[in-house]
Chain A
């Protein structure tokens, strides 16, 4: 006996829309089981995890802060994934964005200028885009597997950032702790309101999602992305260049990941340090799929994933649930999102060995 996936002749349109919600429900159900096994009251634990943070204005703000980089990166990933360019290296592009953007305040740390911040953001986008260009051009020219090349470059970026913050860029007055000097005010993204933690990166994230939504759903460029992504042959007949799209998609995706990186550096942290990479580039992959590769859906999905971080901390504080639970939840979420999507479009069938043999004989 062998399990096979068979394409359904017609995927249920209702279920396709509901798929992310279904995945959320299944994750919650799995969470209940996990809490029960951990010996916590399942429903009140789930409440602490996913509902309580929403009732508190401070926690809502923290969710927004956490969601900002996730949304920015995932919006960029949507154009890649829609066009079947599997950019798994957003984490590296995010780091390079932080690195490039931090270059200015590190080398000119006494500079106070209103142009500094925009220049930093542009440098961040440039850094991310350049770093994404590597796997893109390798794929377009030499047909290299972009999943591998983009993923491997993440490790290179991690080591590079680690080296600069421990070596040449280390704060001379920082007791040797890895990290640059703290940036001055003109190199810091302003907060959205006084005494708050949310910064203008959140606005950048929403605006970029809106623009991407418009481009993908209302323009010819967006149409090209969908056509090439779903049916490369049809795309070729229509005269669209898949290679060029690969490069463009990676550049846009890298630029947005880079913007997320410098946004965190200049917005939340105020310096470049070795803790910049908290896995946002990988979590954003979950966000992109949970948001159905739709930029507006991604905004919602980014908030959901951010909730899982903040709720995880709340659960640790009030219930003593290990911080590993957060990662388990995120893993479950991706698993169920992909499983739901797959099972909506495909059905599992059991194929007898005999049938397979006869097929083999016939072939």
Chain B
């Protein structure tokens, strides 16, 4: 038993030209959230409470773009989603299509604890939020001027690379049958079909193991800029964006469709459980062998108090802390 450990992320796929002051701001928020989690773990709070608490912090802080500042759909609206899983009993809750709930991760927790179901979406999820009396705000609370501008840019960019899964007929991409990142017509860096300068990571997540060795994971997102209304990504899907069991807890971020196809979070756990790999080995293997051409990153903790992360994108906002006093935040 290695004591408690915690890791957080604020999304993978970072513009390498991100101004230094924005980087510093992100590091500051990651450090603050890790601190909140560390205090709770030290006080003996169960991992599932800690991941919810930390993801709430990340949702509420406008530096990362889940919750306030969420990505906009084609229609210019916000549709947020989240999930949480407690490795103890593998209980889970998820929500999609939220338009007014301030902290989606806490509604996911309520779905897990207080509904007969694991996953509620759209109107039904909003109704449930009202029944439960969670804090709701007008949809405009989540929409920032910057994101309205980003949506416009995304729409202009997407007039060239609209369907990034259909390989664009050019010499270097027509052989790419998986094609998820095939449409690199300008040779520029892309994420989720958008130029990296427009793309902003929209997902936050936290994984923790408490001093009892129980693991939990939570992930929350505004989704993808310029997504179709109704689009569900990997974040609320148990086994894709989020997973926790007796062995470990995992939260993923990146190109949702690639993460779903590779059931990335469950695969990290399955590699430990069925192939006997260690935590970091499992993370590396899943990223290398499972993602095909997709781009993603993930954080993970094991029941022994190990922490791991990995990504094949340009950067991932991340941080971790362990009981022995180690703390680290990084982007690149």
Query: Do A and B make up one complex?
Result: no
Interface of A toward B, CB cutoff 8 Å: none
B interface residue numbers (CB < 8 A to A): none
